[in-house]
Amino acid sequence: MTAPHHQPCAFLDRDDTLIADRHYLSDPDGVELLPGAAAGLAALRRLGYRLVVVTNQSGVGRGYFTLEDVEAVHRRLTELLAAAGVSLDGIYLCPHVPEDRCDCRKPATGMVERACADLGLDPRRSAMIGDKASDVELARRCGMAAILIETSPGAEPDCRPDARVADLTAAAAWLAAHPRPDRD
């Protein structure tokens, strides 16, 4: 059995990975799970992965909406997933704009480091699943598997993920076929 401080995690981008991307989403009524997202999360959970969202939300830093608005969106996401029988272990967000040069905006590692400290996770046994080159770069910086969700054919042509997949269900299937080694 794996010690609690060595748990693997599927770190997940939010927009265009779990939910439909609504440019600068601030209204909980706009939250729409992508087809197969809940099933993919359930498959990841069955593989033994904790589930943590890491999301850049620069709309806060730009003044487009508040942290409370983002929290309401995340409550709605949590409700929709719960209705499908899935729960998240955490949601971490960066509210900064790129110019702030913070330690949390992906591909910086701050959100992953905080989640690992808070939840006892091992990034070396984990995976980052998202639709942007910044998600792949974050995975590289943390020693995780990098899985790119291709929202369109040939998306992010210059990045080099470990796998390019269509959705979370395919990401779970790839991880089942390519397990991360125990690194005790």
Annotated active-site positions, please?
13, 15
Report the alpha-carbon distance of residue 176 to residue 109 in Å, rounded.
Answer: 25
Spatial separation of the C-alpha atoms in residues 139 and 161, rounded to whole Å: 9
Beta bridge partners of 146: 128
- What is the dihedral angle through the alpha carbons of 71, 77, 81, 83, rounded to the nearest 10 degrees? 90
Cβ-contact 131, 37 below 8 angstroms: no
Contact 145, 127 (CB under 8 A): yes
Q: Phi/psi zone of residue 30: left (φ > 0), alpha (ψ -120 to 50 degrees), beta? A: alpha
Q: Are 18 and 37 in contact (CB under 8 A)?
A: yes
Q: Phi and psi at residue 145, in whole multiples of 5°?
A: -65, 145
